[in-house]
Structure 1
């Protein structure tokens, strides 16, 4: 970033190539300079990457700004272009704190999320994670990072600055999961800048936290689908009760391999977001009730390899912890005794916030913590088995506030990977039609019943892994025996 750069300036913009699925598209690449904290007149400038993929048509309609999910994920990769790039520029602006000159890396949190002792959800483990949050925030502040500048309204200001820099009169928004919260606040702050908005897997205010009764309702929904599936129903009379029994009576080990029940529960919730991984989880629980907890042991071990590296933790904390009120008793409320699974993710995060004070969340108007009415043309898209952003919240809380809105719920679709990739042609057609005309055409979607079949589930993988390990140990022992015998013969 040159010394003479000014706030809101798009510098170094030049032609580049954006590649997606092996196809190269003409694009512009540059850097947007923005204030780190717009409420501080003495603030420094930070730099954000910008990519604009050029529409294939000579006279395209309004551009589409993309807001990725997360928080903690980059905003510099589009999920797809076919059906949209023909008539719209596609614009990506890096998320502050994740992309660009300041990245809120938190190795303290990545290490602390592994927990201490034998239960990730114990008070000791959650306090340890809370201390990791505090340590990271203090280190970043000591390095000169103004954490008050890392909020969703500031992200919206970045997007609005990019719109002005490109001289667009109006823009469309395409958002997913966490990105829908950004799009929602954009519509409240700058409705005159927007043409249409599509929000996929919607996250209204308050829903970065998951409530146990909602998680349980989703499990019961899947349990009803299990009854309709010959393979699943042959293994259990009630999938919800199977999950409850295993969750509340989890074995401490499989053979000599310990099982951390907190890690299994946390990873269970995480993997239930999409239908492919949810089937794998259900298979592990069904096997455990049948007396084979090997799949749970593998989940317990896999946690330390999957979760610590799954996100940019500081960005996740800055943007995602705003719904975690430290005044709530998260330990009790997120793990009620009669719940099927509880809400292990919110228990971990909420208890850490409660015990340590949590991340110093940037100030944000109270109005943005509640749903506000908007006249922006909006299409909400949800999956009926989405544990991450359950459709009930969009239906009950957000849809009534949309003066020009419609909500499509796709049966037996989960989170964003399902909605975008499961019947991709139907998804692209619906989005393109809406952006181009304002009409909602979901006619290409067909019903596909939830498939509970798992080819190579966690129990099988665990046993294969154990066999390979034993074979390797046996081979090493045989080699050692051979070497010792050879040396003995040489000595003789």
Structure 2
């Protein structure tokens, strides 16, 4: 039997399995109306039962939540499937978040469909208290060899626990998520769909267009993440810090005392072991700095923190960032992160701890080193090579990027992804970071509806350069931070 015959047989067998598993799927649990801009919209909440392993007829089932907001039109066009960021975050939008986005223009012609991400939504949540505790580091050195080795040890313990529970991380990949989406699409009778994705969700959207190109009408990617970029690059982060530095030097409103990079370096060079009674961890502060730079408004608070430390020897704000990292570590669904990110971008034989040192940069490898410095401990299979690299797609695609985005830098999409998009367009928003481009896109009237309805890209409505205000968006006294340190 030839190779092509074998592949065809495997494909037919897989199709038979999937068809057999699609017979009983969605149970509607509740329906109610929500009011958006004085218009009632029907919503449906339910549960979808899907196989954990799409390759096995005898697979156990897992349950995922489904949330659908129905269009106000009697004859709506292609629905919009929502793909949120992460991995590690839910894909079920809260009603308050939907209402605040004022999506009436979208709902005029499209249903809005949210299907829970396996591993973080529904019956199986890949979260370990022991791993999360280890992610807080040892001896106030989050990225030390001892800390990372401890995380690896807890990962291995957690994997043994998953094995006892008959849970296989290899069945929680983005390709499995796409199969979940396909089941809902077919169940609801949607022939074609639109995709609205952000951050991690943009990779799911991209792979969806590779795997099922015939069902994608149009797709919007906010903060596009091409293959290979679940790993944040220290040098890329440094280049964006340089942009911030240039903007900072031209500010009249701030008490300018040196460049951003100078005050950051001085802060780390002179960092004491404690602020007040609390021990400081430079590694955590770097992680907190990086994640705070997802927002241009939070950037003002970050640079004020370093200004206080460098020029007033006041490390209270930097300690606050450190404390926020500890809080976030308690909530991380780390198993789901690894089953999606590591499974997609891991390269066998790579020494990620060495690769992500970032010795010549201010922030170093920070969170990438934390996540990827322990990635080999997961020992999971990578997805097929055809989904681990960019390839041509004819799907109508609109990418929204920000020139200050440290998470999904605009030039990654421009240089690596755009050449493969036959019907692709990219808009780079000036003076905007990761969360800023999402807010701008969602809150620009008619921008998304024009595109999803007619393929019209109203660039002028969204490209007005954002202002950068380096004044902190909030201020805290030392006593307030001290109390937060005790309570959080």
In structure 2, the partner of 1:307 is: 329
Matched, 1:379 2:379: no
In structure 1, the partner of 2:354 is: 332
1:383 to 1:167, Cα distance in 2 relative to 1, 3 A: same
Cα distance, 1:41 vs structure 2: 3.2
SS of residue paired to 1:102: strand
Of the structure 1 ranges 181-190 and 140-149, higher mean CA displacement relative to structure 2 is found in: 140-149
1:64 to 1:242, Cα distance in 2 relative to 1, 3 A: same
How many residues were matched structurally?
Answer: 458
1:100 to 1:228, Cα distance in 2 relative to 1, 3 A: same
Gaps of 5+ in 1: 473-492
**Contact 1:71/1:320, CA 8 A, preserved across alignment:** yes
Under a length normalisation based on structure 1, what TM-score does the superposition of the two structures give?
0.87
Cα distance, 1:74 vs structure 2: 0.8
SS of residue paired to 2:148: helix
For 1:20-419, what aligned pairs fall within 5 Å after superposition? 25-77=41-93, 79-80=97-98, 81-232=103-254, 234-290=255-311, 291-309=313-331, 311-322=332-343, 323-325=345-347, 327-353=349-375, 357-416=376-435, 418-419=436-437
**Contact 1:48/1:99, CA 8 A, preserved across alignment:** yes
In structure 2, the partner of 1:490 is: none
Matched, 1:439 2:461: no
Cα distance, 1:20 vs structure 2: 7.5
1:419 to 1:252, Cα distance in 2 relative to 1, 3 A: same
1:248 to 1:308, Cα distance in 2 relative to 1, 3 A: farther
- Greater Rg over alpha carbons, structure: 1
Cα distance, 1:33 vs structure 2: 2.1
- CA RMSD after TM alignment: 2.4
CA deviation string 1:291-331 (max 9, x = no partner):
2222222223333223322x322212211223243522223
Gaps of 5+ in 2: 1-19
Cα distance, 1:56 vs structure 2: 0.7
CA distance in 2, matches of 1:105, 1:257: 28
**Contact 1:67/1:183, CA 8 A, preserved across alignment:** yes
CA distance in 2, matches of 1:469, 1:231: 30
SS of residue paired to 1:75: coil
**Contact 1:244/1:339, CA 8 A, preserved across alignment:** no
SS of residue paired to 1:92: strand
**Contact 2:442/2:448, CA 8 A, preserved across alignment:** no
**Contact 1:25/1:53, CA 8 A, preserved across alignment:** yes
**Contact 1:384/1:391, CA 8 A, preserved across alignment:** yes
**Contact 1:374/1:402, CA 8 A, preserved across alignment:** yes
1:61 to 1:254, Cα distance in 2 relative to 1, 3 A: same
SS of residue paired to 1:314: helix
Of 436, 439, 447 in structure 2, the residue corresponding to residue 430 of structure 1 is: 447
CA deviation string 1:386-431 (max 9, x = no partner):
1111111111111111000100111112113x223347532x5221
CA distance in 2, matches of 1:469, 1:151: 37
CA distance in 1, matches of 2:484, 2:391: 57
